[in-house]
Structure 1
Amino acid sequence: MNAGLAVAVAVTFCWLGMVLAISFIEAPLKFRAPGVTLQIGLGIGRMVFRALNTVETAFAVAIIVTLAMHRPSTATITAFAIAVAALAVQLIAVRPKLTQRSNAVLAVAPGEEAAGRSQAHYVYVAFELIKVVALLTGGVLLLAG
C-alpha cells in the first residue's frame, strides 16, 4: 500500500471512530448526566456536532483527493461516495431542521416544553448509520487493496 492510500485508511477510520464515539456514545449519554437539562444538552450538542461536521468535511475532502489521485476499485469509490453523500444530506437538509427545532426548544422558558417533536433527529441518525456502514466498507476495501 502506498503512502497516499495509507493516509486515506487512517482518515477513514478516524472519521468512523469520531462518528461512533460522538453520535452513538456522547450524544445520548450527555442527557443522562446529573444536572444536564435539555437546554444545556442541546447547547453542548450544537457545539459538538458543529465541530464534528467541520472535521468530517475536512476528512471527506482528504479522502476525495486521495481517491482521485490513486484510483482504487469501483466498489471502494462507491462506498466513499455513499459516505460523502450521507454527510452532504445531513449538512444541507437535516441540520437546518435540527437547528430550527433546537432554537425553538431553547426559546422556551425553563420548566415548559416546546410544542411538537421533530422527526429530523431520527433522519440524522439514519444517515449516521449509513455513513458508518459506508466508511467501514470503504476502509476495509482500501485495506484489502
Structure 2
Amino acid sequence: MSGPVPTALAVAGAASWLWLGMVLAISFLEAPLKFRAPGVDLRTGLAIGRLVFRALNAAEVVPALVIALALVTAQPDGTSLAAGAVAIVLLALQLIAVRPLLSRRTAAVLAGEDGPRSKAHLWYVALELLKAIALLVLGIAALF
C-alpha cells in the first residue's frame, strides 16, 4: 500500500498497539512479577491472577471488535488482514478453550485441592506470545 493510510486501517493499527500494550503489561510483566512479591503465595497469586486476567480478557474484546470492524471497512492488504484475523482467533481460542481449563485449576487450588499442574497455562502463554506477534505485525503493517 502506498500513499496515506486509510482512516479505518489507521484505527485498526492504533487498536493493535493499544491491545499489544495491554497484553505486554499484564501477561508478560504483571503476571510473572506478582509471584515474586514478598508474601504472595500460590493461592494469593492465583486469586489475583484470576481477577486480573478476567478483566484483561474482557478489555481485549474491545480492541478486537474495533480491529474487526476497521479491517472489514478498510479492505487492507493481506498482511494486515491476516495479522488481525490471527490475533482475534487466538483471543477466541484463549477465551473458549484455555481459560475454562485454567479457571477450573485455579478454583481447585483455591479450594485447597492438590493435584498435577495444568498444561493449560503453557497453552495460554503460547497463544499469548503468538497473539502479541500478530498484533505487532498488524501495528507495523497498518503504518504503511
State TM-score, norm by structure 2.
Answer: 0.93
Distance (whole Å) between structure 2 residues aligned to residue 29 and residue 63 of structure 1:
30
Secondary structure of 1:32's aligned partner: coil
Question: Which of 75, 81, 89 in structure 1 is aligned with 2:85?
Answer: 81
Partner of 2:101: 97
In the TM superposition, what whole-angstrom CA distance separates every residue of 1:9-31 from its partner, at most 9, and x where no partner exists? 22110100110111011000001
Partner of 1:128: 128
Partner of 1:66: 70
Secondary structure of 1:117's aligned partner: coil
Q: Find out whether 1:21 has 2:25 as its counterpart.
A: yes
Partner of 2:138: 138
Paired residue total: 140
Alignment-mate amino acid for residue 139 of structure 1: G
Q: Which runs of 5+ in 1 are unaligned?
A: none
How far off is 1:4 after superposition? 2.8
Q: Find out whether 1:118 has 2:118 as its counterpart.
A: yes
Q: Which runs of 5+ in 2 are unaligned?
A: none
Distance (whole Å) between structure 1 residues aligned to residue 13 and residue 79 of structure 2:
15
State TM-score, norm by structure 1.
Answer: 0.92
Contact kept in structure 1, 2:6 and 2:74, CA below 8 Å: no
In the TM superposition, what whole-angstrom CA distance separates every residue of 1:79-127 from its partner, at most 9, and x where no partner exists? 111111110100000000000000110000xxxx721110000000000
Contact kept in structure 1, 2:34 and 2:45, CA below 8 Å: yes
Distance (whole Å) between structure 1 residues aligned to residue 9 and residue 63 of structure 2:
13
Distance (whole Å) between structure 1 residues aligned to residue 80 and residue 118 of structure 2:
34
Question: Which of 31, 37, 51 in structure 2 is aligned with 1:33?
Answer: 37
Runs of 4+, deviation exceeding 2 Å = 1-7
